[in-house]
Structure formats: structure tokens, C-alpha cells
């Protein structure tokens, strides 16, 4: 089929209605968002309701959406472009192809997925057990030495990996070191409006920072959730962020317990909104 005919077929395919929080209802929704938007190299085991096992990966060789290694291990890639309005449906369509592909096959989606199951319909209610990696050697772990396109793709990908570590004291907080600063990017599970109210109350009391030398930069919106970002001193390690992050989480809980907004908090809220970006 020519590329023009493939494009025409995709254009005629029914488009899925936009879903603002495509990973809502999955255990570990915040980690799904983090692995899709924040973390460069990570994996997590997935279990299907039919008992089948596979591996979720942030990125696969040549940006494939899915692959089956020659040894039969199956992978679903998360950091791929959403072709419809529902990332969960897109990924489920890839997953279905991965499960029926032969060893050594890669999965490349050329058409928009039609109606069908979403990840929530296929996966068990098991939270993600995330493993963050220094590079993408897991693509070929336990297999023969890579060569050709896969080896070249792995070399390029490894060269671009930003050192990243998942915090253990809070859910879905990820420390990274980028250029001249370290950062904390933390995917929060709360609905946006009450979360902004709580952050505004914290801001009035000077509670948005994580301690000396840190700075709350703002937040971005990804798949319906807010992801606050902090600048950290370049020498501040992930271990050193654990305690301040846990204390910040406790302050957030206290801010949620309050009601109403003072005039100062309303002004702070507007400032927080002005520093938001949206990722899709």
C-alpha cells in the first residue's frame, strides 16, 4: 500500500474522543505519567488479565511502539506519539499487536486505532514496580550482543540519558541532574483545582520550597495531572531530597485540610497559573 493510501486510510479512521486523564483508573497513574513524560530510561513489569507478562519501557529501539525480542520477551514502549485522543487506547492497540507478534518482530502502528479496549481493560490491578536505568542496555539484556540498527539506536539513546532517580519517600517524585542544576519533578495525583488552592496557601506561607538553595520553578500539566518542578543545588543528591520532599508532602496535606482562600492566596494562585505549561 502506498504512503498516500495509508495516510488516506488513517484520515478516514474514526478518531477517539480526547481523554484528558488517559491513565486514570490504572494503579500508579502518576508513575504512568512520569514514565511517559519525565523519566528517560525505566522499565516496569506488566501483567495482563489473561496471565500474560510483558515489560513496559519508556523508550524502545528506533522509537518502536512495541517489540518482541528473539528470545520471546515482549515490550511495550510508552514514550510514543499519541495517534488518537486517548493515549490509553493507542497503547492498548499496540499491546494487542505485541501479544500476537512472533519473536524478533517490531510493532509499528500506521493507522489510527478504531474502537477497542484500553489499558484499563487489559491490565491487572497491580501498581507499577518501576526500575530506573542508567541507559538502555535492558533492550538486549541477556541476549546476544546487539548489532546494526539496534546497536546504533542504543548508543545514541545512552548518550542522551539524563541521570535520574526515583524517590522512595514520596510517590512519583523523580530527581535528575541536568546541565548546571539538579531538579525534582513530582507528578501529583490530585485534581487540579483543589491542588492549585492548596499550593496557593503554601505559597503565602513560604512553603513551596524544599529548603536552602532550592527554588519552586512552577509546574506543567501532563495527561490531566500537575507536575511541580524545583531547581536544586547541583550537588544535592536524590538521597538528600528524600526528607525535604516528605516534609513538603506533609505541608501539602495540611494545606488541603484548610478551606477558602485569603486575598494573598488568590494572588498567589494567579501567579502559579501564570507559570504553568501543558504537555500532551
Model pLDDT for residues 200-254, shown as the tens digit of each residue? 999 998 999 999 999 999 999 999 999 999 999 999 999 999 999 999 999 999 9
Q: Which pLDDT belongs to residue 2?
A: 46
Q: Which residue shows C-alpha cell 541476549?
A: 143
What mean pLDDT is predicted for residues 155-171? 93
Q: Is the per-residue pLDDT at 146 higher than 70?
A: no
What does the block give as the cell for 140? 538486549
Q: Are strands 53-57 and 74-77 parallel, antiparallel or unpaired?
A: parallel
Confidence of residue 141 (pLDDT cuts 50, 70, 90): confident
- Cell output for 175: 530527581
> In the sheet that 276-279 helps form, which strands lie side by side, from edge to edge?
164-166, 173-178, 181-186, 225-232, 215-222, 276-279
Flag whether pLDDT at 97 surpasses 50: yes
Q: How far apart are CA 4 and CA 144, in angstroms?
A: 38
Instruction: List pLDDT tens digits, range 16-70.
Output: 678 999 999 999 999 999 999 999 999 999 999 999 999 999 999 999 999 999 9
Query: Is the pLDDT score of 145 beyond 80?
Result: no
Write the CA distances from 126 to 120, 152, 202, 238, integer angstroms. Answer: 11, 34, 33, 26
**Residue 144's pLDDT is what?**
61
Q: SS3 for 156? A: helix
- Give the pLDDT band (50/70/90) at residue 1: very low
Phi-psi region of 218 (alpha: psi -120 to 50; beta: other; left: phi over 0): left
Query: pLDDT band at 143, cuts 50/70/90?
Result: low
Over residues 159-185, the mean pLDDT reads 94
How far is Cα 280 from Cα 272, in angstroms, rounded to an integer? 20
79: pLDDT strictly greater than 60: yes
Say which DSSP state 212 is in: T
Q: Are 138 and 161 in contact (CB under 8 A)?
A: no
How far is Cα 205 from Cα 262, in angstroms, rounded to an integer?
12
- Calpha distance 26→49 (Å, rounded): 13
Instruction: Reply yes or no on whether the pLDDT at 8 is more than 70.
Output: no
Average pLDDT, the chain: 90
Q: What is the pLDDT of residue 14?
A: 53
Read off the pLDDT of each residue in 160-182 and give the average, rounded to a whole number: 94
Residue 4 predicted with pLDDT over 50: no
Least confident of 96-110, 135-149, 259-273: 135-149
Q: Which pLDDT belongs to residue 75?
A: 97
**With 90 as the cut, is the pLDDT of residue 280 above it?**
no
Share of the chain above pLDDT 90, in %: 75
* Structure confidence at residue 15 (pLDDT): 56
Sequence-distant (6+) residues with CB within 8 A of 262 are: 204
273: left (phi over 0), alpha (psi -120 to 50) or beta: alpha
Q: Which residues contact residue 252 at a Cβ distance below 8 angstroms, ignoring those fewer than 6 apart?
A: 198, 199, 202
Amino acid at each position: 500500500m502506498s504512503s498516500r493510501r495509508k495516510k488516506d486510510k488513517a484520515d478516514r479512521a474514526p478518531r477517539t474522543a480526547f481523554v484528558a486523564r488517559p491513565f486514570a483508573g490504572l494503579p500508579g497513574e502518576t508513575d504512568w505519567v512520569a514514565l511517559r513524560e519525565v523519566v528517560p530510561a525505566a522499565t516496569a513489569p506488566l501483567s495482563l488479565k489473561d496471565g500474560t507478562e510483558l515489560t513496559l519501557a519508556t523508550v524502545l529501539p528506533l522509537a518502536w511502539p512495541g517489540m518482541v525480542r528473539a528470545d520471546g520477551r515482549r515490550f511495550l514502549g510508552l514514550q510514543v506519539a499519541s495517534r488518537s485522543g486517548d493515549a490509553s487506547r493507542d497503547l492498548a492497540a499496540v499491546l494487542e499487536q505485541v501479544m500476537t507478534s512472533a519473536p524478533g518482530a517490531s510493532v509499528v502502528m500506521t493507522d489510527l486505532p478504531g474502537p477497542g479496549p484500553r489499558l484499563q481493560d487489559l491490565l491487572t490491578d497491580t501498581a507499577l514496580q518501576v526500575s530506573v536505568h542508567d541507559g538502555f542496555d535492558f533492550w538486549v539484556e541477556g541476549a546476544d550482543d546487539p548489532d546494526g540498527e539496534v546497536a546504533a539506536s542504543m548508543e545514541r539513546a545512552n548518550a542522551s540519558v539524563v541521570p535520574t532517580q526515583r524517590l522512595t519517600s514520596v510517590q512519583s517524585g523523580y530527581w535528575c541532574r541536568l546541565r548546571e542544576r539538579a531538579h525534582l519533578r513530582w507528578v501529583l495525583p490530585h485534581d487540579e483545582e483543589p491542588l492549585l488552592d492548596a499550593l496557593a496557601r503554601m505559597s503565602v506561607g513560604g512553603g513551596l520550597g524544599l529548603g536552602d538553595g532550592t527554588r519552586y520553578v512552577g509546574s506543567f500539566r501532563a495527561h490531566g495531572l500537575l507536575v511541580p518542578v524545583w531547581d536544586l543545588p547541583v550537588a544535592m543528591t536524590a538521597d538528600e531530597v528524600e526528607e525535604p520532599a516528605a516534609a513538603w508532602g506533609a505541608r501539602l496535606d495540611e494545606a488541603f485540610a484548610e478551606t477558602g482562600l485569603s486575598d494573598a492566596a488568590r494572588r498567589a494562585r494567579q501567579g502559579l497559573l501564570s507559570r504553568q505549561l501543558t504537555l500532551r
